[in-house]
Structure 1
Amino acid sequence: FGYLPYIDIWSELASALALSLYLVPVINITMVLSWVCPSGRISFYHAKDNNLLLTKVSESGAKEQTSLVDVCRAATPDTCHLNPLLFNGHLQTFWTATKSGDNVPVYYKRKIFQADSAMFTGQYAVDFAVEPYDMPPEGELTDQERKYTQPGGLPGRTSFFSQEELESLPSDDSKPMLVVLHGLSGGSYELYLRHVVAPLIEDGTWEVCVVNSRGCAQSKISTGVLYNARATWDIRQTVKWLRKTFPNRPLFAIGFSLGANILANYLGEEGDACQIKGAVLCASPWNLDVSHFTLNQTWIGREIYSKTLGTNMKALFERHVDEISKNPRVDVEAVRKITYLHEFDRAIQCPTWGYPTEGAYYRDASSSDVMLGIRVPFLCVQAEDDPIASREALPFQEMTQTPYGVMVTTSWGGHLGWYEVGGGRWFSKPITNWLNLMAKEIDIQIPGVVENPDKLPGQIAHHDDLNKDADLAPKPDFGPSRRKLNMNLPQ
């Protein structure tokens, strides 16, 4: 869900390519067509009869009404021309494992947060994008910084804020600020993430911070708890802190892969009280139970993707085993025997959080229902040939029921791939365009207006007809964020 390291899959990739390119006797006609006309199909999914109306401000200052759908269509390029050498979702996905991304530099300063909830105690790291600076000599961490960092040191172009820098961090400026959530075992250094961050901060109009999941991006954990697919507590605390520290900055958010699932859960849980002005969900697995099922239906899904993701999570576990082993709910040796991602979830997530099976965990942590509770504008970007966040798991029907979201899909792109000729990433275009439109051309101080509030998810249908009985039955209440596992989330 967002991270496939080169060293983990290269040998497996070689055998997979041999199978797909040399052992398949029939040439796939879609492969031929993609070479002749290498352009992905772009589709939009949204409510047809219930728009979210926004206020657009022209260069002259005049205000006019527009719809979220129109903003999303304006932000999305008319074509999706990708690299014809990477002619399917697998190759697009594999290619992410070969790219170092040094040509997309983003510099960070790190701040450590201590959790403010007794239920989710521990620490986590937030990296703030800053102007390029001379990096301190490698290995020169203070004792205090070493306390929060893995022995391998910080990721590239990352160092800690000094105490003086932290004290001067609060600001009354009104720059838009983007809060970023990464994929499964990644961090602020991820290339796909930097392809969005770099163009936004290039001219100094945006501020950006990345909330690293606990134990990721070379950060240390201080308790026996990592994170899960509905771990919304750290972004919730971060948003509260940002709102207090930068009171005039409009906050936006983006999540990639598993981070998109976490972000959708957060937005849905916050509902009308959400402090985010607009959000992007990119390559989300949405329905985790379905994603898990489809991933394990094929050899390549099980033996390449699931095994690699499981290996990554087991490596993350080993980096923090001293702390995690103190958790009385975790059987360390059982974790060390796992091979696939779902086995890791069975060995770690189920006992840690109280789920009886990984299936129960996937169903409870999925965001495909929770998204119906989102009450801020959001854009989803998905590839229909994504082998990890599969098409079968996408919320096509749900998107037609909410005026707050628009889902853009491409027929081609893989998982966080979308590689163009020259190394650019197509997905960064609609995302950065949309964020800039929302921040600079939409008056976000004026709340969006739903055309037909009676058609919002959870509203009870009513059809006037003389032949119908009066509707006297008790009214059911659909709560999209209602869970089977009570997390006792702080208010």
Structure 2
Amino acid sequence: MLTHGINTYPMINPLHWGYNATVEHLASETGTVSLPLKDGKDHVDFSQFVSEYVPALGDGAQFQLDPRLFTGFLQTLYLSSADYSKTHPVFYGREIVQFDDGVCTADWVRNDWVRKYKLNEVTCNFDKGAFDADERKTHPEGWPRLQPRTRYMSESEKEDNMNDERPIVIIMHGLAGGSHEPIVRSLATYISQIDGGKFQVVVLNTRGCARSKITTPALFTGLHTGDLEKFALREKARFPKRNLYAMGLSFGAVMLANYLGRVGDKTPLKAALCLSGAWDMVLSSEKLQHDFWTRNLFSKNLTQFLVRFAKVNMGELEVPEGTTPETPPTVENPVFYTFTQSNMKKALQMRNVIEFDDVFIAPCLGFSSGIEYYKEASPLNLIDNISIPLIALNSKDDPVFGGIAIPQQFLNKNGNVLLCESDLGGHVAYLQSDGESWASKAIAQFFSEFDKNVL
């Protein structure tokens, strides 16, 4: 059961205006887990490790954001509306990942293509003719056109990619997003380039997202983390001695946290980070529904993304009017029987995410409403079973999910979880005056230092 009575922050809170931000560590009252260090060094508590080795995320660390974006609303709006077409021009090589119940896509960062296609990192121009020619050779028939600088890999390129023994960082994107999102490209750039390119970085696109296709009537939800589980096990099996890490942002953080809580010590991941994740989805839903600014500035857009996602995948998802499931739907055996044309007509009038989940998602999982689904899908339910060091990076001025992170009573259940709570930053934004994300650089530093120093 989730805790109740956690105060939400008011719509406009002058205490969370400004650009001089501070990080505060919140963890179990008995301390965080002890980490064994390399080179015969003593063990160190997880919180102390972060403060000493990753000073950007240290307890009491300070950083500056863009003074013009002095609230979480402005930070988040700018990230979602500004022109980022010429920033972080990442090349991705796409792989279709086949599972027993369908497919998802994995976009691998290909920094070697920077030279191959002669990218000018100032103008972002590259040899588009050569790239397009290779894209035509590799594009599978019937699949959608991809985002800029993203193409399917040839069989030889996939083979080379699979022979890469570097440690991996898996990125889980936000709701209805994908590898093309500006913040994802920023994270992919910083993580893939740190320490001369020590990490292999891949964005795992959820089913049907990032201009991919759904090939079976099986969707992603906050409770379905099997794709991440199977993908991580596959990568670990290729080179068992290498380290695997993962990070999720926004809804991807929800999926990552639920995965970690569900599989416990069976995860092959060594450490993880959740950025701007909703830990209590019921309270976050209340903010999306009832906060005037959040409802009108963000919830409507998120809902439109979901409706568009459903619409473009109706070829595979659509069922005849009046369809009823042969067996009662459950989380373990979902039945996606709600994707009818009449429901799609209703969807065109939807303005809040919970309306979409009430009609399309909750019934398919056996829940009576979106709220019941959110209760079950909140990562707080499983926090005590997370078995690896996990940073939760949340901002108190997050205008989408609210300044609600992890209550103390839940932190007390698990010393593996360290909440790094900033007073400013917005929702996955943390934009500085140079347009770069403070969070992207700090997160890349965390994975680098953890891989270098922890056994």
What range describes the TM-score normalised by the shorter chain of this pair? 0.7 to 0.9
Q: Which residue of 2 aligns with 1:462?
A: none
Give CA-to-partner distance per residue, 1:32-88, whole Å, 9 cap, x none.
x73xxx31232111113243111223xxx3422111111222314221211111111
CA contact (8 A) 1:384 1:410 kept: yes
Q: Which residue of 1 aligns with 2:172?
A: 181
Q: Which residue of 2 aligns with 1:214?
A: 207
Q: Which residue of 2 aligns with 1:355?
A: 367
Q: 1:18-167 alignment to 2 at 5 Å?
A: 30=15, 34=18, 38-57=19-38, 61-74=39-52, 75-77=54-56, 78-97=61-80, 98-116=82-100, 121-131=101-111, 132=114, 133-134=116-117, 136-137=131-132, 140-141=135-136, 145-147=140-142, 149-150=143-144, 153-167=145-159
CA contact (8 A) 2:229 2:267 kept: no
CA distance in 2, matches of 1:358, 1:393: 20
**1:146 Cα deviation from its structure 2 partner:** 3.1
Quick one: which of 168, 188, 192 aligns to 2:160? 168
CA contact (8 A) 1:71 1:434 kept: no
**TM-score for both structures, normalised by structure 2:** 0.84
**1:321 Cα deviation from its structure 2 partner:** 1.4
Q: Which residue of 2 aligns with 1:381?
A: 393
CA distance in 2, matches of 1:155, 1:144: 13
Quick one: which of 177, 187, 197 aligns to 1:196? 187
Q: Which residue of 2 aligns with 1:451?
A: none
Quick one: which of 240, 244, 248 aligns to 1:247? 240
CA contact (8 A) 1:335 1:348 kept: no
**1:380 Cα deviation from its structure 2 partner:** 1.0
The amino acid across from 1:178 in the alignment is V
Q: Which residue of 1 aligns with 2:8?
A: none
CA contact (8 A) 2:395 2:425 kept: yes
With 182-191 and 97-106 compared, the bigger mean Cα shift is at 97-106
Q: Could you say which structure has the larger radius of gyration?
A: 1
Q: Which residue of 1 aligns with 2:314?
A: 321
CA contact (8 A) 2:105 2:212 kept: yes
Say yes or no: does 1:296 pair with 2:327: no
CA distance in 1, matches of 2:405, 2:44: 30
Mark the CA change 1:287 to 1:332 in structure 2 (over 3 Å): closer, same or farther.
Answer: farther
Secondary structure of the structure 2 residue equivalent to 1:407: strand
**1:336 Cα deviation from its structure 2 partner:** 3.1
**1:290 Cα deviation from its structure 2 partner:** 0.8
Mark the CA change 1:139 to 1:380 in structure 2 (over 3 Å): closer, same or farther.
Answer: same
RMSD: 2.1
CA contact (8 A) 2:287 2:401 kept: no
Mark the CA change 1:319 to 1:342 in structure 2 (over 3 Å): closer, same or farther.
Answer: same
**1:373 Cα deviation from its structure 2 partner:** 0.6
**1:367 Cα deviation from its structure 2 partner:** 0.5
CA contact (8 A) 1:46 1:401 kept: no
CA distance in 2, matches of 1:185, 1:365: 17
CA distance in 2, matches of 1:216, 1:79: 36
The amino acid across from 2:47 in the alignment is V
Which contiguous aligned blocks of 4+ residues in structure 1 show a shift greater than 4 angstroms? Answer: 28-31
Secondary structure of the structure 2 residue equivalent to 1:437: helix
Q: Which residue of 2 aligns with 1:305?
A: 298
Q: Which residue of 2 aligns with 1:366?
A: 378
CA distance in 2, matches of 1:368, 1:257: 15
Secondary structure of the structure 2 residue equivalent to 1:276: coil
Quick one: which of 326, 330, 339 aligns to 1:330? 339
CA contact (8 A) 1:384 1:409 kept: yes
Secondary structure of the structure 2 residue equivalent to 1:167: helix
